[in-house]
Amino acid sequence: MDIHSNDAHNPPDISSVFKFSNCRIPCLKSLSALLGSIDDRNIIEKFYSADIVELPRSLEVSRILSSKNEHFMHLKLTLFEHYINLSLPYGEAPIKVVKDRVSEIPNFTYVRENIFGLNIERPIAPPPIGCNCEKKGTSIYSSNCLNTDYCCPRLSGVTNAYNQYGTLKHTQRKPIFECNSACSCKENCSNRIVQHLRKVPLCLFTTVNGKGWGVKTEFAIESGRFVMEYLGEVITSREAELRGKYYDNEGATYLFDLDFNDVDNVYTIDAKNFGNISHFVNHSCEPNLEVFPVWIDNLDVNLPHIALFSKKHIIAGSELTFDYRMYKDFQSTKKFKGVPCLCESTKCRKYLC
């Protein structure tokens, strides 16, 4: 809403359309008067008062406004933008929400890390192995653990995935083992990338071709750069089958099987109700992001982090996409049965199958 417009100075009483859970908002009944005298930023400060500290669980911004009046759309999207950015872990790049189109606020909870479903224990054991590169005493070991046979990747039977600039040495889909809490190296080690969170500022926008929300980058991204982690609710494969039948009827594609090993998958990430910015990344048969399994503190082969890296140079303003189908050498996939493809790329398969 443009608070400087004539309509903004005579807003209707909207106190009855706000819905909150487990929070107290001062001056709610006088919100109409506030809209006519202060800007959105100050309104947001009223909403996110000092007693609202346990995000994202304490507040469901997607349900704050039930009104579909266009006059309130800017405010709704502004609240949603602030909710997302207040939900981000410390040090992660901001997310902008484009407010140029009337869009429904997504009904989901923004999370900072994967949450675990019923009968699944969160891994809390310390990592069984860690590198001693820092104790080797040479500058190359103390700087970043690169080019050494003693670091975590080598100890896990793979090569180091990153170069000295923190980008992938190659975009082939190979497992990544980062240094962990048992390692002697410092936090600025070049083998600590995904664990240092997303550094690329992103933008949520409404697509014009029926794909709903989408994600684009505000700045150019070089090839091999870590962009974001795919987060959601970790559930068993059996539970995923049950949910998948329901989601198929909705045409939803939020189930991501964690089967990066040589046996059947044990777990699936469901990002429908709990997730992060990756919840909004659309599919493309010719994507600019690639999926990699990453192990850090938890070395359970069935529970890797799912990291999205740029597979090529991405220009500023481009929509970010990845292939829901994935590839034969990594069988992990989002569920896509019967869902038409809307990517419109030259390599479009028409269906996500």
Annotated binding site for Zn(2+): 131, 133, 151-152, 179, 183, 185, 189, 285, 341, 343, 348
What the block records as the tokens of 237 is 């494969």
DSSP structure class, residue 288: S
Annotated binding site: 131, 133, 151-152, 179, 183, 185, 189, 285, 341, 343, 348
Q: What is the DSSP letter of 227?
A: E
Separation CA 66–CA 194 (nearest Å): 37
CB 148 within 8 A of CB 159: no
Measured distance CA(198)–CA(62) in Å, rounded? 23
Per the CB < 8 A criterion, the answer to whether 304 and 258 are in contact is yes
- For residues 146 and 163, give the distance between their C-alpha atoms in angstroms, rounded to a whole number: 7
DSSP secondary structure of 97-121: E--SS--PPP--EE-SS-EE-TT-P
User: Is the Cβ–Cβ distance between 19 and 67 less than 8 Å?
Assistant: no
